[in-house]
Amino acid sequence: MTAERRHAPPTQDELDLLHYQSRIERPVAAKIPEFSRDERLRHVIFSRQFSVELLEDLAGTADKIRALSKARAGQDFLIGLLSHKRAMLYFTQPSTRTFLSFMAACQILGITCNEVRDPSTSSETKGETRFDSIRMFSSYFDLIIMRSPVAKLAEACAYLMNDLAASGNRSVPIVNAGSGADQHPTQALLDIYTLQRTFQFTSPKDSPIGTRFDEIRRQYANLTRGLSRKVYGFCGDIGRGRTVRSLAELLAGYEGVSLVFVSPQHPALSLGDDMRSRLVNRGVRVFEVESLETPIDGRPVIETVDALYMTRIQKEHNDPADEATFAAIDFSKYKLNRDLVNRMKSYAPILHPFPRDQFFGEIPQEIDADPRAMYFRQARNGMWARAALLAHIFNVDHQISRYYHEHYE
Amino acid sequence: MTAERRHAPPTQDELDLLHYQSRIERPVAAKIPEFSRDERLRHVIFSRQFSVELLEDLAGTADKIRALSKARAGQDFLIGLLSHKRAMLYFTQPSTRTFLSFMAACQILGITCNEVRDPSTSSETKGETRFDSIRMFSSYFDLIIMRSPVAKLAEACAYLMNDLAASGNRSVPIVNAGSGADQHPTQALLDIYTLQRTFQFTSPKDSPIGTRFDEIRRQYANLTRGLSRKVYGFCGDIGRGRTVRSLAELLAGYEGVSLVFVSPQHPALSLGDDMRSRLVNRGVRVFEVESLETPIDGRPVIETVDALYMTRIQKEHNDPADEATFAAIDFSKYKLNRDLVNRMKSYAPILHPFPRDQFFGEIPQEIDADPRAMYFRQARNGMWARAALLAHIFNVDHQISRYYHEHYE
Amino acid sequence: MTAERRHAPPTQDELDLLHYQSRIERPVAAKIPEFSRDERLRHVIFSRQFSVELLEDLAGTADKIRALSKARAGQDFLIGLLSHKRAMLYFTQPSTRTFLSFMAACQILGITCNEVRDPSTSSETKGETRFDSIRMFSSYFDLIIMRSPVAKLAEACAYLMNDLAASGNRSVPIVNAGSGADQHPTQALLDIYTLQRTFQFTSPKDSPIGTRFDEIRRQYANLTRGLSRKVYGFCGDIGRGRTVRSLAELLAGYEGVSLVFVSPQHPALSLGDDMRSRLVNRGVRVFEVESLETPIDGRPVIETVDALYMTRIQKEHNDPADEATFAAIDFSKYKLNRDLVNRMKSYAPILHPFPRDQFFGEIPQEIDADPRAMYFRQARNGMWARAALLAHIFNVDHQISRYYHEHYE
């Protein structure tokens, strides 16, 4: 679009984004307050909107929703909470997983879902601007969950909604379900939630006599519960994996974490300078290595990490100019196999944002049966975490806690 | 389709339409009774099915639905009204706005929605006729809302349903959501509803001491409430704007209205002869001018109109044969700008069926903040008006009135 | 896919199917137990899973759902039964009828529906395997209804779900809505249900003095109620009509049935040897003829059959190598017309899986008004039969019976 129009006058869509350029260019910290209202998130645009306190709060809500969903009475209670709300899932960039995860999350709370996925069937073909489309959605629906190939579009839509509210017009919350290459906050939310659950080290078999945590501690005496003071490995496409960046940002909020980035030494694939300095400034120990075998604190990464986050090599984003240098890279170092997994800590979860690439094979299926393989449960966690986020936005999380405490304690 | 088959034997689809040709060719007035049952609309095919009495009735229902939707109790009451009904939205001609507006309208009343939008995924690819598809829909669902590029198809489907009922078979209501270039009755309904609300001249700030209406009358002493005795301007693509024709037809039902059509003097773009004579015969004062600056009763149109209906130039329907003559037309006269709007009456609403064309720019965004800009609220009005229409069809409008009077008076 | 990769290493999708090859290659009878749990169907993969007892049971449930759906109270009861369940309709092979029929069936019981229809919008474009997609669906939803061009895929997914359950993972029921050319069990279910209803020979006009059955018996003294001891005709594309094979399999379960297959004598279009021998071994009288005029037991087929199942010639599956031999076939013998229908038994229903082919014309529209034309009611029966099947899978059929007996007897 922009490319072929480079020498043409800007389109209204481009002008609409330009209109918010100065607000978009502020540092994230300066922007975050605008996306909250009455002490809670109004729009969800950046992963950095999730403070550690909020993350703990959302995890608590997600755990309760999950528990209530085990029995019909709880399910009916949840479905009744927001049955008067209608959501628009505006996904002009395809993503079946994120889309279905949000659908399910809405349905758990009784929200009626509507979708626009193929822009070609939309009024845009009649020359309508994106902002006019968004205002249309906001006039019919109570929530807009959007995923777009256009960077910053979700952020700009949040400003539009705030400006409408300021001028006394109807305005609805915007949830960013992936905006260009820059942000995918709810993916980071579910990654954190998966780590939170894993590092509770609880198990149905736990008893006053002994718990799974006690058991693990026989082998790992210094192990503590929670996300702090742990070593997190990220392996594969670090440079282009927005989920890696978002998760790293959130982990930086916890005390004494070490982040190990395992990727080829190639500017497109390795950690960005801005990201590195931001992490270091927040007191994170950052390691960048080319292999899971490289030693950290005297032992290979694969044996050191408390959690391993695998990623897909995003070939579809390859710059043709890089093909030559890419061809020289030994990508086999960024794939797991049985032997590697066997050397990992017994409790260390393997995560992956999915989909995994069957042709590249960063996680071969032989790993799926391993107790450390968390990536399938991770998907279901995404549904619970997103439901918790929606409950927070619509201010029904306290009702959930109340119902839970009345019926389950 | 028809084009490439011109010399081939007629398809069953063509024969199906031919079968109803004689009924289709009757004057509209003669057809209308067939689309009613028990004093209420059974099928909604033509805007002329909406008598002034019915329009006032539907506006009353829409106002009540809107009011009930402000509180959870009212929303739950509405959602319960038709939660046992299933609708099919059969949109083989794309239209995101009309589609989503109907979806939201259904959801407000609890109707479950299903859709068929892309004919290529439909059984038609196996040689199924449209009528077989419609009968399939009628066997699974309780209502068919259809939009099609085929003129008269909705009307023909209504006849099919009536014939099925007559022979003791299952039959469901048909709602025309846009059928070829000929009819788009619910657009006219929402346009009227927007005018009805605007010309109530009420405001939250109204009090026994003074109302917004009193205020406006200081400047416009002869102003009356309601749609009668007003001047309505239509600007742009009059010839190909079915929404213009439908709205003009309905306005002709009110007393002493003047209609001003502002368009280039080109047969494809200006008022049709049949339309003009029909309006004149109904006692409407009809003006046709080329510019918003042309004087009517001594003052420029832009300063005279009580409401201005802007339209998009439907370039996609341009006949190649017209390109030369079109190139000679100064289309800039059919665009609004700040100066023009500033000269309009202070209360005169600006309407547009939307989407507006960002490339042509008949309504630049600088107008959006003006209190006269009604086109965004118009979209939301469409949702309420369509919900009122569905409530009428399924005979639950009286329940809505009863609930409203019990709880709000 | 497979074709162009023939010489390439197998894809993971191919390996996934190979993994279950040995289980897939077992005789059907040996596989059926795996698809049940606690005395009821867990996965619906083959039509042969429907025993005569189960078919009678499902017909009873379908009749009750139909009856309850006539009044608001019954509809609300049904909608409440499974309103906590979410279904995924995974249709990578288009089929509007089957898709909408399942949607409506789900909605009757309150099940919330989600869909993935266009694989191109799915994660598969990022190299995800089908099994990873299925596991994703199973993590968000409670039921997967799938239709795929890949033979045996639904069966393989059922094994995957069973293996997941065995290893303590989440697992949901799989319903086969058409898998390649091999199986379409719920089509057979609705065909049987249509015959069951027809051969009850009841009518609203029945009274203690006289019933429709008495009336018919004046002309056909030996006629009995039910599906046993009847002659069933199948006409058209026998070789490629999976619905014909599935229905024939189920009819073979009834006593003393005769099956007459009317098709061209062409290996692609006529009855397969395996099928013939299986039917004969089960005690079915099997006739294969080229015309509806061929005598059976002394009278032409058209006058002999108690029910006639018409099919569409599936030209889209023509093997180019057959074009020459096909051109020599007189297909007009496989089309109905008024005269033929007039010679049928007065009560003999005409069925068709639909869509019918308007260009071939196996059932011209002049037949639609004939009381024997059952194909439109057949579609609606599909909705009731599928709702009954879902009620069976989720174990709420007894609740339906209880409610029915409390309120209707």
C-beta atoms of B379 and A125 within 8 A: no
Closest residue by Cα to residue B178 from B261, B239, B97, B289: B97
How far does chain C reach from its first CA to its final CA, in angstroms?
57
C-beta atoms of A358 and C84 within 8 A: no
CA-based nearest residue in chain A for residue C89: A100
The strand pair at C299-300 and C295-296 is best described as antiparallel
Assess whether pLDDT exceeds 90 at residue C194: yes
Assess whether pLDDT exceeds 50 at residue A5: no
pLDDT at C119: 62
C-beta atoms of B125 and C94 within 8 A: yes
Task: Share the mean pLDDT of chain B.
Answer: 93
Rounded Cα gap, residues B371 and B172, in angstroms: 42
Assess whether pLDDT exceeds 90 at residue C409: no
The whole-number average pLDDT for the span C70-98 is 95
pLDDT at B123: 53
Strand partners, C41: C36
Q: What is the DSSP letter of B334?
A: G
Chain C interface residues (partner A, CB cutoff 8 A): 11-13, 83-84, 86, 88, 112, 114, 116, 120-123, 125-129, 132-133, 135-137, 139-141, 167, 169-170
Size of interface A-B (CB pairs under 8 A): 83
C-beta atoms of A136 and B97 within 8 A: yes
Strand partners, B36: B41
Chain B positions in Cβ-Cβ contact with residue A167 (cut-off 8 Å)? 369
C-beta atoms of C84 and A100 within 8 A: no
- Pick from B68, B100, B113, B243 the residue to mutate for testing the A interface (most A CBs within 10 Å): B100
Chain B positions in Cβ-Cβ contact with residue A120 (cut-off 8 Å)? 94
Torsion of CA A157, A163, A167, A170, to 10 degrees: 30
Rounded Cα gap, residues C341 and A404, in angstroms: 65
What residue ranges do the domains of chain C occupy? 12-183+382-395, 185-201+225-315+326-379
Which among C118, C357, C379 is the nearest to B136, CB-wise? C379
Site of tokens 């029966």: C381
Residue C123: pLDDT band (50, 70, 90) is low
The whole-number average pLDDT for the span A316-330 is 87
C-beta atoms of C121 and A96 within 8 A: yes
Helix (H/G/I), strand (E/B), else coil: B90: strand
Closest residue by Cα to residue B48 from B228, B249, B187: B249
C-beta atoms of C122 and A312 within 8 A: no
Chain A interface residues (partner B, CB cutoff 8 A): 11-13, 83-84, 86, 88, 112, 114, 116, 120-129, 132-133, 135-137, 139-141, 167, 169-170
Task: Share the mean pLDDT of chain C.
Answer: 93
Could you report the per-residue pLDDT of C360-391, keeping only the tens digit for each?
999 999 999 999 999 999 999 999 999 999 99
- Pick from A13, A19, A83, A128 the residue to mutate for testing the B interface (most B CBs within 10 Å): A128
Residue A6: pLDDT band (50, 70, 90) is low
Could you report the per-residue pLDDT of B144-178, keeping only the tens digit for each?
999 998 889 999 999 999 999 999 999 999 999 99
Rounded Cα gap, residues C55 and C12, in angstroms: 38
Same fold, B12-183+382-395 and B185-201+225-315+326-379: yes
High-pLDDT (> 70) share of chain B, %? 96
Could you report the per-residue pLDDT of A229-257, keeping only the tens digit for each?
999 999 999 998 889 999 999 999 999 99
Which tokens in the block code for residue C365? 């529209």
- Pick from A65, A97, A315, A378 the residue to mutate for testing the C interface (most C CBs within 10 Å): A97
Are B314 and B237 within 8 A, CB to CB? yes
Assess whether pLDDT exceeds 90 at residue B127: no
Chain C positions in Cβ-Cβ contact with residue A95 (cut-off 8 Å)? 123
Torsion of CA B69, B72, B75, B79, to 10 degrees: 160
pLDDT at A170: 96
Helix (H/G/I), strand (E/B), else coil: B109: coil
pLDDT at C1: 41
CA-based nearest residue in chain A for residue B118: A121
C-beta atoms of A132 and B75 within 8 A: no
Are A352 and A310 within 8 A, CB to CB? yes
Are A376 and C149 within 8 A, CB to CB? no
Chain B positions in Cβ-Cβ contact with residue A86 (cut-off 8 Å)? 104, 107
Could you report the per-residue pLDDT of A169-186, keeping only the tens digit for each?
999 999 999 987 778 999
The dihedrals phi and psi of B246, each to the nearest 5 degrees, come to: -65, -45
Chains that touch C (3 or more CB pairs under 8 A): A, B
Are B381 and B198 within 8 A, CB to CB? no
pLDDT at B122: 52
Torsion of CA A331, A334, A337, A343, to 10 degrees: 140
Strand partners, C289: C262
Could you report the per-residue pLDDT of B57-114, keeping only the tens digit for each?
999 999 999 999 999 999 999 999 999 999 999 999 888 999 999 999 999 999 999 9
pLDDT at B63: 97
Could you report the per-residue pLDDT of B282-325, keeping only the tens digit for each?
999 999 999 999 999 999 999 999 999 999 998 878 888 888 88
C-beta atoms of B376 and A133 within 8 A: no
Residue C5: pLDDT band (50, 70, 90) is very low
pLDDT at B7: 65
Query: Would you report the helix, strand and coil content of chain B in percent, each value rounded to 5?
Result: 50, 15, 40
The pTM of the full predicted model, rounded to 2 decimals, is 0.95
CA-based nearest residue in chain C for residue A68: C84
- DSSP calls for A159-228: HHHHHHHHTT-----EEEEEETTTB-HHHHHHHHHHHHHHTT---TT--SS--HHHHHHHH-TT--SSST
Chain B positions in Cβ-Cβ contact with residue A127 (cut-off 8 Å)? 312, 355-360
Assess whether pLDDT exceeds 90 at residue C164: yes
- Pick from A107, A357, A366 the residue to mutate for testing the C interface (most C CBs within 10 Å): A107
CA distance B123 to chain C (A): 6
The whole-number average pLDDT for the span C56-60 is 98
The whole-number average pLDDT for the span A363-379 is 95
CA distance A205 to chain C (A): 14
pLDDT at B53: 97
CA-based nearest residue in chain C for residue A112: C112
Site of tokens 């048909």: B174
Q: How far is CA C282 from CA A322, C131, C278, C279, in A?
A: 66, 37, 6, 5
Are B102 and B177 within 8 A, CB to CB? yes
- Pick from B16, B83, B112 the residue to mutate for testing the C interface (most C CBs within 10 Å): B112
Assess whether pLDDT exceeds 70 at residue B125: no
Task: Share the mean pLDDT of chain A.
Answer: 93
Residue A272, number of CB atoms within 10 A of its CB: 12
C-beta atoms of A97 and C123 within 8 A: yes
C-beta atoms of B356 and A128 within 8 A: yes
C-beta atoms of A369 and C11 within 8 A: no
CA distance B299 to chain A (A): 33
Rounded Cα gap, residues B362 and B9, in angstroms: 44
Cα-Cα-Cα-Cα dihedral sign, residues A297, A300, A303, A308: positive
Assess whether pLDDT exceeds 90 at residue B359: no
Residue B358: pLDDT band (50, 70, 90) is confident
C-beta atoms of A123 and B95 within 8 A: yes
Residue A289: pLDDT band (50, 70, 90) is very high
How far does chain B reach from its first CA to its final CA, in angstroms?
57
C-beta atoms of B125 and C76 within 8 A: no
Assess whether pLDDT exceeds 70 at residue B1: no
Which tokens in the block code for residue B320? 């190649």
Could you report the per-residue pLDDT of A82-101, keeping only the tens digit for each?
999 999 999 998 889 999 99
Could you report the per-residue pLDDT of B215-235, keeping only the tens digit for each?
999 999 999 999 999 999 999
Site of tokens 């309508």: A128
CA-based nearest residue in chain A for residue C168: A369
Residue A240, number of CB atoms within 10 A of its CB: 20
pLDDT at A156: 97
Which tokens in the block code for residue B151? 């003129």
Which among B114, B120, B135 is the nearest to C376, CB-wise? B135
Chains that touch B (3 or more CB pairs under 8 A): A, C
The whole-number average pLDDT for the span A208-213 is 91
Q: How far is CA B121 from CA B12, B124, B322, C91, in A?
A: 20, 8, 36, 10
On whether the C12-183+382-395 domain is CATH 3.40.50.1370, my answer is: yes
Strand partners, C287: C260
Site of tokens 């003047």: B258
Chains that touch A (3 or more CB pairs under 8 A): B, C
The whole-number average pLDDT for the span C80-91 is 98
Size of interface A-C (CB pairs under 8 A): 82
Could you report the per-residue pLDDT of A121-139, keeping only the tens digit for each?
455 566 789 999 999 999 9
Size of interface B-C (CB pairs under 8 A): 81
The b/e string for C284-310 (b: 16+ C-beta within 10 A; e otherwise) is: bebbbbbebebebeeebbbbbbbbbbb
Chain A positions in Cβ-Cβ contact with residue C121 (cut-off 8 Å)? 94, 96, 117-118
Type of residue found at C233: G
Rounded Cα gap, residues C306 and C295, in angstroms: 15
CA-based nearest residue in chain A for residue B100: A140
Assess whether pLDDT exceeds 60 at residue C289: yes
Assess whether pLDDT exceeds 60 at residue B6: no
Specify the DSSP element, H or E, that contains A149.
none
Could you report the per-residue pLDDT of A19-70, keeping only the tens digit for each?
999 999 999 999 999 999 998 999 999 999 999 999 999 999 999 999 999 9
CA-based nearest residue in chain B for residue C105: B140
In CATH terms, the fold of domain A185-201+225-315+326-379 is Rossmann fold (3.40.50)
Could you report the per-residue pLDDT of C300-358, keeping only the tens digit for each?
999 999 999 999 998 878 888 888 888 899 999 999 999 999 999 999 999 999 999 88
CA-based nearest residue in chain A for residue C124: A355
The whole-number average pLDDT for the span C14-43 is 95
- DSSP calls for B131-149: HHHHHHHHHH-SEEEEEES
Residue C9: pLDDT band (50, 70, 90) is confident
Question: What would you report as the CA-atom Rg of chain C, rounded to the nearest whole angstrom?
Answer: 22
Q: In what order do the strands lie in the sheet with A350-351?
A: A285-289, A258-262, A231-235, A307-310, A350-351
CA-based nearest residue in chain B for residue C313: B126
pLDDT at A1: 41
Name the more confident of A389 and B210: A389
